[in-house]
Protein backbone atom coordinates (compact mmCIF):
# COMPACT_ATOMS: atom_id res chain seq x y z
CA UNK A 1 0.00 0.00 0.00
CA UNK A 2 1.17 3.52 -0.83
CA UNK A 3 -0.04 6.64 0.97
CA UNK A 4 -0.18 9.98 -0.84
CA UNK A 5 -1.22 13.27 0.80
CA UNK A 6 -2.33 16.44 -0.96
CA UNK A 7 -1.44 19.24 1.46
CA UNK A 8 -1.72 23.03 1.38
CA UNK A 9 -3.40 24.91 4.23
CA UNK A 10 -4.66 27.52 1.77
CA UNK A 11 -8.25 26.82 0.74
CA UNK A 12 -8.90 26.87 -3.00
CA UNK A 13 -5.45 25.57 -3.98
CA UNK A 14 -6.95 22.62 -5.85
CA UNK A 15 -6.34 19.86 -3.28
CA UNK A 16 -9.76 18.26 -3.46
CA UNK A 17 -10.07 18.52 -7.25
CA UNK A 18 -6.66 16.89 -7.69
CA UNK A 19 -7.47 14.23 -5.09
CA UNK A 20 -10.74 13.30 -6.79
CA UNK A 21 -9.31 13.07 -10.29
CA UNK A 22 -6.05 11.27 -9.47
CA UNK A 23 -8.00 8.81 -7.29
CA UNK A 24 -10.51 8.22 -10.09
CA UNK A 25 -7.66 7.62 -12.54
CA UNK A 26 -6.06 5.03 -10.25
CA UNK A 27 -9.42 3.34 -9.65
CA UNK A 28 -10.13 3.25 -13.39
CA UNK A 29 -6.81 1.44 -13.80
CA UNK A 30 -8.05 -1.31 -11.49
CA UNK A 31 -6.37 -0.16 -8.28
CA UNK A 32 -8.14 -0.32 -4.92
CA UNK A 33 -8.21 3.28 -3.72
CA UNK A 34 -9.28 4.78 -0.38
CA UNK A 35 -9.56 8.54 0.01
CA UNK A 36 -9.34 10.08 3.48
CA UNK A 37 -11.08 13.43 3.92
CA UNK A 38 -9.39 15.40 6.72
CA UNK A 39 -11.05 18.76 6.06
CA UNK A 40 -13.47 19.86 8.84
CA UNK A 41 -15.76 21.17 6.08
CA UNK A 42 -15.89 17.61 4.68
CA UNK A 43 -15.84 18.85 1.09
CA UNK A 44 -14.86 15.51 -0.37
CA UNK A 45 -17.26 13.54 1.81
CA UNK A 46 -20.11 15.82 0.71
CA UNK A 47 -18.98 15.49 -2.92
CA UNK A 48 -19.41 11.72 -2.55
CA UNK A 49 -22.88 11.97 -0.99
CA UNK A 50 -24.37 9.94 -3.85
CA UNK A 51 -21.55 7.35 -3.51
CA UNK A 52 -20.95 7.28 -7.26
CA UNK A 53 -17.17 7.37 -6.89
CA UNK A 54 -15.04 4.48 -8.13
CA UNK A 55 -13.08 4.71 -4.86
CA UNK A 56 -14.01 4.53 -1.18
CA UNK A 57 -14.19 7.70 0.93
CA UNK A 58 -13.44 7.84 4.66
CA UNK A 59 -13.50 10.77 7.07
CA UNK A 60 -10.69 11.48 9.55
CA UNK A 61 -11.82 13.61 12.47
CA UNK A 62 -8.45 13.79 14.21
CA UNK A 63 -4.74 13.16 13.79
CA UNK A 64 -5.26 9.80 15.52
CA UNK A 65 -7.47 8.71 12.61
CA UNK A 66 -4.73 9.71 10.16
CA UNK A 67 -2.04 7.81 12.07
CA UNK A 68 -4.24 4.71 11.82
CA UNK A 69 -4.63 4.69 8.01
CA UNK A 70 -1.83 2.19 7.39
CA UNK A 71 -3.40 -0.22 9.85
CA UNK A 72 -7.07 0.39 9.10
CA UNK A 73 -6.83 0.69 5.31
CA UNK A 74 -4.06 -1.81 4.63
CA UNK A 75 -6.12 -3.75 2.08
CA UNK A 76 -6.02 -0.88 -0.42
CA UNK A 77 -3.37 -0.32 -3.10
CA UNK A 78 -3.43 3.45 -2.56
CA UNK A 79 -4.63 5.68 0.26
CA UNK A 80 -5.01 9.31 -0.77
CA UNK A 81 -5.26 11.93 2.00
CA UNK A 82 -7.10 15.15 1.14
CA UNK A 83 -5.54 17.71 3.47
CA UNK A 84 -7.42 20.25 5.57
CA UNK A 85 -7.77 23.85 4.45
CA UNK A 86 -5.80 25.00 7.47
CA UNK A 87 -2.52 24.13 9.12
CA UNK A 88 -3.15 21.65 11.93
CA UNK A 89 -1.73 18.62 13.72
CA UNK A 90 -3.45 16.57 11.00
CA UNK A 91 -0.97 18.03 8.50
CA UNK A 92 1.96 16.70 10.52
CA UNK A 93 0.24 13.33 10.92
CA UNK A 94 -0.33 13.10 7.16
CA UNK A 95 3.34 13.79 6.49
CA UNK A 96 4.36 11.12 8.99
CA UNK A 97 2.29 8.35 7.38
CA UNK A 98 2.77 9.25 3.70
CA UNK A 99 5.11 7.95 1.02
CA UNK A 100 4.61 11.10 -1.06
CA UNK A 101 3.49 14.63 -0.22
CA UNK A 102 1.94 16.61 -3.06
CA UNK A 103 1.65 20.37 -2.52
CA UNK A 104 -0.90 21.89 -4.92
CA UNK A 105 -0.30 25.57 -5.70
CA UNK A 106 -2.00 27.98 -8.08
CA UNK A 107 -0.13 30.88 -9.71
CA UNK A 108 -0.98 33.04 -6.70
CA UNK A 109 1.38 34.57 -4.10
CA UNK A 110 -1.09 33.66 -1.32
CA UNK A 111 -1.15 29.98 -2.32
CA UNK A 112 2.61 29.76 -2.41
CA UNK A 113 3.02 31.56 0.91
CA UNK A 114 0.68 29.06 2.58
CA UNK A 115 2.47 26.16 0.92
CA UNK A 116 5.65 27.32 2.65
CA UNK A 117 4.25 26.12 5.96
CA UNK A 118 4.03 22.58 4.58
CA UNK A 119 7.65 22.83 3.44
CA UNK A 120 8.62 23.94 6.94
CA UNK A 121 6.88 20.94 8.53
CA UNK A 122 8.52 18.64 5.98
CA UNK A 123 11.95 20.01 6.84
CA UNK A 124 11.30 19.66 10.58
CA UNK A 125 10.26 16.03 10.21
CA UNK A 126 13.02 15.10 7.75
CA UNK A 127 15.34 14.24 10.64
CA UNK A 128 12.97 11.49 11.80
CA UNK A 129 11.52 10.26 8.52
CA UNK A 130 12.42 11.86 5.18
CA UNK A 131 9.49 11.79 2.76
CA UNK A 132 9.34 12.46 -0.98
CA UNK A 133 7.56 15.71 -1.88
CA UNK A 134 6.53 17.48 -5.09
CA UNK A 135 4.74 20.69 -5.96
CA UNK A 136 1.75 20.40 -8.27
CA UNK A 137 0.80 23.51 -10.24
CA UNK A 138 -2.99 23.80 -10.50
CA UNK A 139 -5.28 26.19 -12.39
CA UNK A 140 -2.43 26.79 -14.80
CA UNK A 141 -2.94 29.46 -17.45
CA UNK A 142 -0.26 29.57 -20.13
CA UNK A 143 1.59 32.86 -20.53
CA UNK A 144 0.41 34.13 -17.14
CA UNK A 145 3.11 36.29 -15.58
CA UNK A 146 2.48 34.74 -12.17
CA UNK A 147 3.18 31.28 -13.58
CA UNK A 148 6.79 32.26 -14.24
CA UNK A 149 7.07 33.78 -10.77
CA UNK A 150 5.62 30.61 -9.24
CA UNK A 151 8.10 28.36 -11.04
CA UNK A 152 10.99 30.51 -9.78
CA UNK A 153 9.62 30.39 -6.22
CA UNK A 154 9.30 26.60 -6.38
CA UNK A 155 12.86 26.27 -7.64
CA UNK A 156 14.09 28.22 -4.61
CA UNK A 157 12.58 25.69 -2.16
CA UNK A 158 14.68 22.77 -3.36
CA UNK A 159 11.51 20.71 -3.88
CA UNK A 160 10.77 19.76 -7.47
CA UNK A 161 7.48 20.30 -9.27
CA UNK A 162 5.71 17.69 -11.35
CA UNK A 163 6.30 18.08 -15.07
CA UNK A 164 2.53 17.85 -15.54
CA UNK A 165 0.31 20.68 -14.29
CA UNK A 166 -3.46 20.86 -13.98
CA UNK A 167 -4.73 23.54 -16.33
CA UNK A 168 -7.56 25.97 -15.66
CA UNK A 169 -10.48 24.08 -17.24
CA UNK A 170 -14.21 24.47 -16.75
CA UNK A 171 -14.60 20.68 -16.88
CA UNK A 172 -12.80 20.33 -13.52
CA UNK A 173 -15.16 22.76 -11.83
CA UNK A 174 -18.30 21.38 -13.47
CA UNK A 175 -17.52 17.72 -12.85
CA UNK A 176 -16.71 18.22 -9.15
CA UNK A 177 -19.87 20.30 -8.72
CA UNK A 178 -21.90 17.43 -10.19
CA UNK A 179 -20.25 14.81 -7.98
CA UNK A 180 -18.12 13.38 -10.77
CA UNK A 181 -14.54 13.41 -12.07
CA UNK A 182 -13.29 14.55 -15.48
CA UNK A 183 -13.45 10.91 -16.54
CA UNK A 184 -17.23 11.33 -16.58
CA UNK A 185 -16.93 14.21 -19.08
CA UNK A 186 -16.02 14.52 -22.76
CA UNK A 187 -12.94 16.66 -22.01
CA UNK A 188 -10.19 14.42 -23.41
CA UNK A 189 -7.50 17.04 -22.74
CA UNK A 190 -8.32 17.02 -19.02
CA UNK A 191 -8.45 13.22 -18.95
CA UNK A 192 -5.05 12.98 -20.63
CA UNK A 193 -3.60 15.56 -18.26
CA UNK A 194 -4.70 13.57 -15.21
CA UNK A 195 -3.52 10.27 -16.69
CA UNK A 196 -0.03 11.65 -17.34
CA UNK A 197 0.12 13.24 -13.88
CA UNK A 198 -1.00 9.98 -12.24
CA UNK A 199 1.70 8.08 -14.12
CA UNK A 200 4.27 10.57 -12.81
CA UNK A 201 3.00 10.04 -9.26
CA UNK A 202 3.03 6.25 -9.47
CA UNK A 203 6.52 6.21 -11.03
CA UNK A 204 7.82 8.17 -8.02
CA UNK A 205 6.63 5.74 -5.37
CA UNK A 206 6.57 2.30 -6.97
Alpha carbon distance 19, 5 (integer Å): 9
Distance CA 200, CA 41 (A): 30
Three-state secondary structure of 47-83 = HCCCCCCCCEEEECCCHHHHHCHHHHCCCCCEEEEEC
User: pLDDT per residue over 136-150, tens digit each?
Assistant: 989 888 666 777 888
Report residue 193: phi and psi, to 5°: -60, -50
In this prediction, residue 74 has a pLDDT band, given cuts at 50, 70 and 90, of very high
- DSSP element (H, E) containing 204: helix 188-205
All structural domains of the chain with their residue ranges: 2-205
Query: pLDDT value at position 85?
Result: 67
CATH number for region 2-205: 3.40.50.300
Q: Which pTM was predicted?
A: 0.91
Amino acid sequence: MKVIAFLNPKGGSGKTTATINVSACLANAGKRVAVVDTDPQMSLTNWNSTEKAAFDVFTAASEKDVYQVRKDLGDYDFVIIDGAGSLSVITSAAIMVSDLIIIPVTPSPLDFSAAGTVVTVLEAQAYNRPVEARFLITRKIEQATMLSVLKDSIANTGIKAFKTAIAQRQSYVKSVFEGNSVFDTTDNAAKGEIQILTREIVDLIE
